[in-house]
Amino acid sequence: MVIDLEIFSPVQQINDQLFAERDLLVYIKRDDLIHPIISGNKWRKLKYLLKKAQSHNKTHLVTFGGAYSNHLLATAAAAARFGFKATGIVRGEQVDNDTLFMCRLHGMHLVFTDRESYRDKPALFNKYFANDDQAFFINEGGASPEAAKGCSELVNELTETYDHIFCASGTGTMAAGIINGIIQYQSPTQLHAIPVFKNGGFIANEIDKLLIAPANYQLHTDYHFGGYGKVNNELISFIKKFVADTGILIDPIYTGKMLYAIYDLAAKNHFKPGSKILAIHSGGIWGLLGMKDKFN
């Protein structure tokens, strides 16, 4: 089977009075529309990993994530779509939630593991699958050079040049991939990454490891809202208003924080008038389901 999806990821303008007042043109690339479940950067990150598994005749994907992981869910759906078996090794005690329900529905087998053992993923892989010669290890979040390569392709799809591209960052793989794409196309675009963790400065090391050449990019480490999965009323109000104004769903874990940063930086006159800014909608809207109670 050919492992590919037809990419549907249009670029749309975001119209807002703030951007009009500051003379900014702001757009969003809708990677969330690539697939309802294998959405956003998760498809880009999995594509070359799945091709590698296939070329090594591996039929069983084994990967890792927290109980709300977009990566686990995307892997479950991609495995189902392209004929792989899948196991998800889940951090923490056995729970059930909407994400894990969807993983199971796509045929993923789930193994729960305590937080201590979860740290050593190769050891877990060996513990369960040393005797399964069909098993293929995919790191948490899909972090790998293959994943960065998949993300770099996003830049090929752009038909215009932007001054700034913004993305949310967990492992930094997508940011590295986009920077590599920018380097390959010798584009003058500046990438801005918004780490969704507290003290996100460490992500620069992860990004730099995956770069094909040294590059300048900007990390904005003050938009984590207290840490991974943490929110406050300001972020929730921003998300409600953004969704109601634009009809574009965003989540509180990744894309909400990244878009908040663009609005905040625009309000603080961070961008030169006339700048063209592209936000990457990296998907992950199912993350909303785990945070419904925060929207009351």
Ligand X SMILES: *Cc1c(COP(=O)(O)O)cnc(C)c1O
Report the interface residues with ligand X, using CB under 6 A. Answer: 40-42, 70-71, 141, 168-175, 254-255, 282-284
Of residues 257, 254, 199, the one with CA closest to residue 225? 257
CB 30, min distance to ligand X, A: 12
Distance CA 264, CA 152 (A): 27
CB of 272 to ligand X, least distance (A): 27
Nearest residue relative to ligand X (C-beta): 284
Smaller CB distance to ligand X: residue 14 or 288?
288
DSSP assignment of the chain, as one string? ----------EEE---HHHHHTT-EEEEEEGGGS-SSS-THHHHHHHHHHHHHHHTT--EEEEEE-TT-HHHHHHHHHHHHHT-EEEEEEESS----HHHHHHHHTT-EEEEE-HHHHT-HHHHHHHHHTT-TTEEE--GGG-SHHHHHHHHHHHHT-SS--SEEEEEESSSHHHHHHHHHHHHTT--PEEEEEESSTTGGGHHHHHHHH-SS----EE-TT-STTSTT---HHHHHHHHHHHHHH-----TTTHHHHHHHHHHHHHTT-S-TT-EEEEEE---GGGGGGGGGGG-
Residue (70 or 75) nearer to ligand X, CB: 70
* Cβ at position 196, least distance to ligand X in Å: 7
Nearest approach, Cβ of residue 281 and ligand X (Å): 8
- Shortest distance, position 134 Cβ to ligand X, whole Å: 26
Q: Which is nearer to ligand X, 88 or 284 (CB)?
A: 284
Kindly tell me which of 9 and 173 has the beta carbon lying closer to ligand X: 173
Taking the complex as a whole, how short is the minimal distance between the CB of residue 132 and ligand X, in angstroms?
A: 26
CA distances for 168 relative to 126, 137, 208, 262, angstroms: 32, 25, 16, 11
Rounded least distance, CB 291 to ligand X, Å: 13
- In the complex, minimum distance from the CB of residue 135 to ligand X, in angstroms, rounded to a whole number: 23
Identity of the residue, 34 or 62, whose beta carbon is nearer to ligand X in the bound complex = 34
Identify the bridge partners of residue 219 per DSSP, sorted by sequence position.
193
Packing angle of the helix pair 98-105, 70-82 (nearest 10 deg): 10
Nearer to ligand X, 209 or 272 (CB): 209
Question: 63 or 171, CB closer to ligand X?
Answer: 171
Nearer to ligand X, 16 or 31 (CB): 31
